[in-house]
Amino acid sequence: MDREIQFNLNGNETTVVIKDHWTLLHLLREELGLLGTKEGCGSGECGACTVMVDDLAVNACLYLAVEVDSKKVVTIEGLASADGELHPVQKAFVENGGIQCGFCSPGMIMSATALLKENATPEEDDIKHAIAGNICRCTGYVQIIDSIRKAARAEEGDTVRVVAWQDD
Ligand code: FES
Ligand code: FES
């Protein structure tokens, strides 16, 4: 059955007609052309498809598109500012070797961003817990955890920017 939904996508009010069985991943990639959100396993195992819905990290491959009606969705495309400046978490991944092949990176960065919105000063265990559902085949995770820690703590003031960014 076709259904019209309205939601905020990366800061833009968006109206789309969807089918009830579509996943959010299908809607984003196949219908809206937002290819930054990756499809890995398609079954909730790898985290490559992670996006934020109302500030919480979710697996878009398991999340029905109909469920984003009236909600706020942020994908990797929505993190950088309008002038192209990278989000602090993106910068930290680039600067600290958190990205190698990059396939896991959008999902990993979305999980990290959701964590830092909830907890601006995470301990290492908090970081590990937040990215437990995100599989990386390249980095060994050390650089990723380091990147997330530095995104939160690298400079005085960065923590506030990370937390506030999505609401600007
Ligand atoms: S593609 Fe969604 S968890 Fe792997
Ligand atoms: S950087 Fe290659 S899978 Fe994570």
- Ordered structural domains, the chain, with CATH: 2-78 (3.10.20.30), 88-167 (1.10.150.120)
Q: Which burial class, exposed, middle or buried, applies to 5 when counting CB atoms under 10 A from its CB (0-12, 13-18, 19+)?
A: middle
Does residue 151 have a pLDDT over 90? yes
Q: How confident is the model at residue 154 (pLDDT cuts 50, 70, 90)?
A: low
Does residue 97 have a pLDDT over 90? yes
Q: Is 11 in the pocket of ligand 2 (CB under 6 A)?
A: no
Going by their DSSP bridges, the two strands 72-74 and 56-59 should be labelled as unpaired
Q: Please compute, for residue 80, the number of CA atoms within 13 A of its CA located in the half-sphere on the CB side.
A: 11
Closest CA relative to residue 130, chosen from 118, 139, 138 = 118
Contact of 156 with 106, CB cutoff 8 Å:
no
Does residue 165 have a pLDDT over 80? no
* Average pLDDT over every residue of 61-85: 97
Percent of the chain at pLDDT > 90 equals 89
Across 44-53, 92-101, 158-167, least confident range:
158-167
Structure tokens at 96: 């600290």
Tokens 């990639």 belong to residue: 29
53/160: higher pLDDT: 53
Does residue 43 have a pLDDT over 50? yes
Indicate the pTM of the whole model: 0.92
- Residues having CB within 6 Å of any atom of ligand 1: 39-42, 44-49, 59, 61
Does residue 22 have a pLDDT over 80? yes
How far apart are alpha carbons 32 and 37 in whole angstroms? 11
Ligand 2 pocket test, candidate residues 45, 109, 139, 145, most atoms within 8 A of CB:
139
pLDDT at residue 153 in the model? 79
* Average pLDDT over every residue of 112-117: 97
Q: Is 68 in the pocket of ligand 2 (CB under 6 A)?
A: no
CA 6 to centroid of ligand 2, rounded, Å? 33
Average pLDDT along the chain: 92
Does residue 93 have a pLDDT over 50? yes
CA distances from 103 to 26, 142, 157 (A): 17, 17, 30
Q: Is 140 in the pocket of ligand 2 (CB under 6 A)?
A: no
Q: Is 101 in the pocket of ligand 2 (CB under 6 A)?
A: yes
* Average pLDDT over every residue of 114-127: 96
Taken in order 91, 126, 132, 168, the sign of the CA dihedral is negative
